Chains A and B, each alone.
Chain A
Amino acid sequence: MTTDTPTTRTEAAAVPPPGAASASPRAGQGHRRLLTRRDRLTLALMAGVPTVLHVALVWVTAIASVFLAFTTWDGIGFDSIKWVGLDNFRQLFADNPQFWPAVQHNVIWFVVLILVPTPFGLLLAVQLDKRIRFSRVYQTAFFLPVVISMACIGFVWQLVYNPDTGLINSIIGANRPGHYIDWIGDPGLNLWAVLIAASWRHTGYMMILYLAGLKSVDPSLREASALDGANEWQTFKSVIFPTLRPTNTVVLVVTIIEALRAFDLVFVFNKGAQGTELLSILVTNNIIGESSRIGYGSAIAVVLLVISLAVIIPYLIATFRKERRA
């Protein structure tokens, strides 16, 4: 959504200022115009093409899926779209045995990410900020998982968790009849197993965000608190952490987004089978395929959209209010 705004701005900046235009040779021909025909064409193309793409790929599809949520459609020919009103939602809330678990898992996903890897990432960032030896090495090691795609992480962790030949079960001997631990299949275990993999990656992400925040803390604040006789914990709690407020907001938003868009890791892991259902996976399962339930899948997508908006709108309001005050 944000891509075209900066683009337009860049275009505007690239337009020669009026003074420069009058100095250009064409300006002497009597037509005092701000932009030449060519400039306007370039501008129209550079701003227009991204706008058209953006509107077509983001807005049209988003609005279309909201519309489709009130219909049934198998994706074959537009004449097979049938208006069914709120039926899809009624079915979803009342009859789909996977829907509520999926909502619940998305929430668990968020809670775990905010409670486990986030504080841990902060801890690592604080330690690394002390300029300890080999700090770069640690930084790289912790950040590395963030660079790898979620799908690859899924493959790797699957090898670790594989119940028959995986690393864990082979080491602790839990792949024998009677002592079996089914990390991927057991609904009481698999969500947590996936969350460990997700946290493993998220920690590095959080660490880098906090590290950037910490670097911008004014050193004189530390000095002042040291002069006041505060110990390390007191300094962190009362001086450093409060100055990290903007970073915390970013972290919160990033984590919410990660929790809502969680998909690839689980899809690779076990396709959202018993115990790991997620909204994004239900959307995919219903829409992709030979005889798709596009209307029903769209209804799930709309639920996801509403949840996202419920989170994002208050954030935007708060941010704008702050900007206005400033």
Chain B
Amino acid sequence: MRPSPAARPAPGPSRRSLLRGAGGAALLAGAGTPLLSACGGSGSSADPKTVTVGSNASDAVPKKAFASVYADFKKQSGLTVDVNTKDHNTFQEQINSYLQGTPDDVFNWFAGYRMQFFAAKKLATPIDDVWARIGGNFPEAMKKLSKGEDGKYYFVPLTTYPWAVFYRRSVFRQHGYQVPATWDELVALCKRMKKDGLVPIAFGDKDAWPAMGTFDQINFRLNGYDFHVELMAGKAAWTDAKVKAVFDHWSELLPYHQDGFMGRTWQDAAQTLVAKKAGMYLLGSFVAQQFTDKADLDDLDFFPFPEMNPAYGQDTVEAPTDGFMVSKAPKNHAGVVKLLEYLGGPAAEELYLKTDPSVVAASGKADTSAYSPLQKKAFDMISGAKSLTQFMDRDSRPDFTSTVMQPGLQKFLQNPKGVDSLLSSIERQKKQIFASS
């Protein structure tokens, strides 16, 4: 039930919802009997010349990009990669029964809590042996992201992208706006934009996850990375005055958000930025996909969310990271190690980015010379970060974020005055969910 923002979402919300519905129905039928819905792994995988990969890269661009990567891997190693592609959202919904059934050797997944969860459930194989070889390719923050709670490595990152405030250079130039460096400057800029007849901040929360991005930014700017992580892990209390302060700041900014956001998808909101009707938009860099005209795309720029607390400055960057994990009992372990070592190297990433330029490489060693200016800036921002976060629904229990936080944040957006009772309700529900397993 979580439309991962990570997932370079499909062009229309309608298609995803439909597919999600279909996948949901399929899972319902198999919920009691996990084996029924396990539709992964093929019988041929005992073949030492083949590695099977369960892929969620069902969209055309990533699918093609992965195909080129696997073809190159075959050329180098002689091993065939047998890809089993499933619809992106269906893959996420079925991941439980998929991993308990007969999964493929390697599967696409996300960094953060979502990876640690399956590692802790013993549904993944630790890959410290792979990391012994590829460790040098990655910055410290990426290493931290790839470890399970037990300190072992479970994940090989491939691509990532930052969340930031996007704007059009020409609009800023035309009105003489400066990039705001602090919260007060941001609020002042919003005021000016409103006066100039612009929508200061484009916003659409129909899919319920974009609001989480705003919460994340305000929280780690105001309270720092450590508090954010504790809060996401269910350790800090939502009734803490620090959380209340996040919502107070958010309320201050809310009047400058686009009207009617509850019925608008992020794609529609992005269109107001494309049309120069909106001044800014806080989103992941996948917003660039909506800029289909080359001249518009060249005009697109971004700045990191402004500083709110000098103690933390802008040291944290939200950068959801996608990559690979190994299922609990891979049939071809030697092949898996070879494949992951290859995928963790800069060559694989460069090859991938040639076909899919909407993201940047997770490795610090990948060649950045072919990057667009936007990609370069994104890459610099991520590699310069002291701490990386994933996204609320990747940093915390997904059942908590989807059943409590998504409706909770929407409730706040509708009624910013009822924060106190909302926060105590969230805290009560959080305790129940985190206590349950």
Interface residues of A (CB under 8 A from B): 57, 60-61, 64-65, 72, 74-77, 80, 82, 84, 87, 91, 95-98, 151, 155, 158, 161-165, 177-178, 180-187, 190, 264, 267-268, 270-271, 273-274, 284-296
Contacts and interface: CB of A to CB of B under 8 A. Distances in A.
28 contacts: A61-B32, A72-B436, A72-B437, A74-B436, A76-B96, A76-B121, A77-B100, A87-B432, A91-B432, A95-B428, A151-B21, A161-B263, A162-B268, A164-B268, A164-B271, A178-B259, A182-B261, A182-B262, A182-B263, A183-B263, A186-B263, A268-B18, A270-B263, A273-B407, A284-B1, A289-B92, A292-B31, A292-B96
Main secondary structure of the interface of B (DSSP, over half): helix
Given A271-B17, A274-B411, A287-B31, A162 B399 contact: no
Contacts of B264: 163-164, 185
Interface residues of B, number: 56
Interface stretch (B22-30, B285-293, B331-339): B22-30
A268 B14 contact: yes
A177 B399 CA distance: 35
Interface of B: 1-2, 14, 17-18, 21, 23-24, 27-29, 31-32, 34, 92-93, 95-97, 100, 114, 117, 121, 123, 199, 205-208, 258-264, 268, 271-272, 397-399, 402-403, 407-408, 410-411, 414, 425, 428-429, 432-433, 436-437
Contacts of A270: 206, 262-263
Contacts of B260: 163-164, 180-182, 185-186
Nearest to A188: B414
B399 A185 contact: no
A65 B411 CA distance: 30
A285 B264 CA distance: 21
A268 B263 contact: no
Contact of B21 (A77, A96, A268, A274): A268
A184 B32 CA distance: 34
Contacts of B397: 291
Given A95-B428, A184-B206, A271-B17, A76 B31 contact: no
A223 B160 CA distance: 79
Contacts, number: 154
Contacts of B34: 75
A120 to B, nearest CB: 27
A296 B264 CA distance: 30
